[in-house]
Amino acid sequence: MNHKRPFYKSLWAAVQGIWYCLVQERNMRIHTVAALYVAGFSTFFGLNSTEYAVLFLTFALVLCAEVVNTSIERLCDRDTVGFSQWAKVVKDTAAGAVLVCALFALGVAWSLFWKPEVFPVIWGFFTACWWRLPLLAVSGLLAIVFIIWGPGPLLNKLRPPRRK
């Protein structure tokens, strides 16, 4: 008997898992916002295709580590009643894996983006038009709101009310 589900259902389940992490995990939102800003600002640095490959693999590594960490934490929470030293060790090491990935991501960022001559170019871009700096500030505020509260409450307000 074949128990394989169709590809689109597997894909949808994966999307739901990522969405769960974004809604439930503040650190996933922090990593996602950081990746989006870094990707946006990377355009100022004239990266070649190999450097972009390293950058996007780094994003993937950190975000995947966060998803796996969330899975491990939820599994430990489900299977543990009260305090468990075993669950603590498992959860701490999974969180440690995310931290290792994030610290090495900082190393990648340092290697790719420590070009002080580019920083005035970025500043010039945002000050060249009156609306760019306020737009950056608003995007920063929205990013902070997203990180703190997540996408759930915002999307719930955007959805039409359900019929009874």
Which active-site residues does the annotation give?
66
Planar angle of CA 106, 41, 64, nearest 5 degrees: 45
- Here the contacts of 106-113 (C-beta below 8 Å, separation 24 or greater) are 108/54, 108/55, 108/58, 109/38, 109/58, 112/42, 112/45, 112/47, 112/51, 112/54, 112/55, 113/38, 113/41, 113/42, 113/45
Q: What's the CA gap between 39 and 33, in Å, rounded?
A: 10
Tokens standing for residue 154: 């915002």
Return d(Cα 47, Cα 42) in angstroms, integer: 7
